[in-house]
Amino acid sequence: MIVVRSAHTSTWRQHVLPLAPIGQLWQHRQLIWQMAVREVKARYHGSMLGPLWSWVMPLLALVIYTFVFGSVLKPRGAGWGELTSWHLALMLLSGLLIFNSFSEMVGRASHLILGQPQFVKKVVFPLEILPLAMLLGMLLHLMISLSVVLLLGWWLQGTITWSWLWLPLILLPHALFLLGVGWFLAATAVFFRDLVPTMTALCQLLIFLTPVFYPLASVPEPYRAWMLLNPLAWSVELGRAALMGTAPPLLGLLCFLGLSWIVMQLGYGWFMFLRPRMADVV
C-alpha cells in the first residue's frame, strides 16, 4: 500500500460527483458512530435530567404557546383561525422545533472546525465527518422533542394518524439540507471568521421568512413561490401537514429531496475543496 502526498492528490471534482459523499463517508462509519455517540453524551453530560430535557423544554414551550397564542395573540392565518389553542400551539411548536434544528446547526457548524484545531493539525482525522456526527446527535434530539408533539397530537385527536409515518421521509431531506449547510459553514468559517456573528444574526431574521409563526397558505401569491426557495419552508410545511393527517404530495417531496440533495452535495464539494487548505490557517 503506497500513499502519495502531493499538491494534487485530490481534486474537488471527485467530491461533487453524485453519491461521492456516501462512499467516502462509509469508510469512516465506525468513527462517525463514535463521534455521534460522543456528541449525544456530551449534550446530556453532567445534567441530572439527561435526555429528559429534550422532553421538558418542548413541553414547557407548549404550555406557554398555548397561553400566549390562545389567550393573548390570536393568529389569523388561513385555516389557523379555527384551531383550538392546543392545536395552534402544536403547529407552532412543530415548526419551531424544525427551525431550531437548523439554527442550532448554523450556530454550531461555524465553531465546529475552529473550536477543535487539534483535529486539524495534530491528528490525521477525516474532518468531513464532524458535521455528520453532529447532525446525527441533533437528529436524535429533534426526534425526542418531536415525540412530545406526537404524544400531544395523539391525546388531542384520540387516535394515531397514518400520515405520521411520512415524518421520517420528510426529515430525511431536511437532514440532508442541514448537512449541506453544516459542511458549507464549517469550512467557510475557517477562512472567513466574520461568518459566525453574521450567520447568527441572519438566522434570527430567517425565522420570519419561514412559515413558523404563520401557515404558508396565508402568504400572498407573488411571494409564496419565492418562499419555496427556502428549503426550511418545505420541511416545516410538509411536516405540519403530515402531523395534521395529510399525506405530503409525492412530487413535492421528491422536489424537496432533490433540492436538499443538491445542497448537501455542494456543501460537501465545497468542504472537500477547502479541506487541504485548512491546516494552513487554523
Partner 1 sequence: MKLIEPVPDRVGAPLEAAVHAPSFEPSTREDWAIRVRHLGKRYRLFRHSRDRIKQWLFGWRRCFYQDVWALRGVSLEIAKGQSVALMGANGSGKSTLLQILAGTLTPTEGTAELQGRVTALLELGSGFHPDFTGEENVRLAGSILGLSPDEMNRCLPAIAAMAELGDYLQRPLRTYSSGMIVRLAFAVAASVQPEILLVDEALAVGDLAFQQRCFERLRRLREQGTTLVLVSHDLETCKRFCDVMYVLEHGRLIQAGPAEDVADWYFAHLCSKKTMEHGRQDAAVGQGEGAFPEAAARITGVECLDEADRPTTVLRMGQRYRLRVQIRLQGACSHLVAGFYLRDRFGCEIMGSNTADASALFPSLRPGDRWWVEFAWPMRLRPGKYSVSAALAKDAQTPSYHHWIDHALMIEVVDPRAGRRVHGLVDEDVAITIRRAV
Contacts with partner 1 by CB under 8 A lie at 1-7, 9, 30-31, 34-35, 38, 41-42, 45-46, 118-125, 191-193, 276-277, 279-282
Nearer to partner 1, 1 or 251 (CB): 1
Under 8 Å between Cβ of 108 and 224: no
In angstroms, give the least distance from the CB of 104 to partner 1: 20
Nearer to partner 1, 127 or 149 (CB): 127
| Cβ partners under 8 Å of residue 167, min gap 6 | 146, 239, 242, 243
Residue with cell 391525546: 155
Nearer to partner 1, 101 or 188 (CB): 188
- Tell me the torsion sign for CA atoms 222, 77, 173, 159: negative
Residue 245, helix vs strand vs coil: coil
Q: Cα–Cα distance between 259 and 238 in angstroms, integer?
A: 14
Nearer to partner 1, 29 or 74 (CB): 29
Q: Cα–Cα distance between 271 and 266 in angstroms, integer?
A: 8
Under 8 Å between Cβ of 127 and 113: yes
Under 8 Å between Cβ of 93 and 63: no
Q: Cα–Cα distance between 88 and 149 in angstroms, integer?
A: 12
Under 8 Å between Cβ of 180 and 260: yes
In angstroms, give the least distance from the CB of 42 to partner 1: 7
Nearer to partner 1, 97 or 199 (CB): 199
Nearer to partner 1, 1 or 48 (CB): 1
* Max Cα distance, the chain (Å): 70
In angstroms, give the least distance from the CB of 90 to partner 1: 36
In angstroms, give the least distance from the CB of 282 to partner 1: 8
In angstroms, give the least distance from the CB of 194 to partner 1: 9
Nearer to partner 1, 201 or 279 (CB): 279
In angstroms, give the least distance from the CB of 235 to partner 1: 32
In angstroms, give the least distance from the CB of 7 to partner 1: 6
Q: Cα–Cα distance between 109 and 188 in angstroms, integer?
A: 10
Cα distance from N-terminal residue to C-terminal residue, the chain: 30
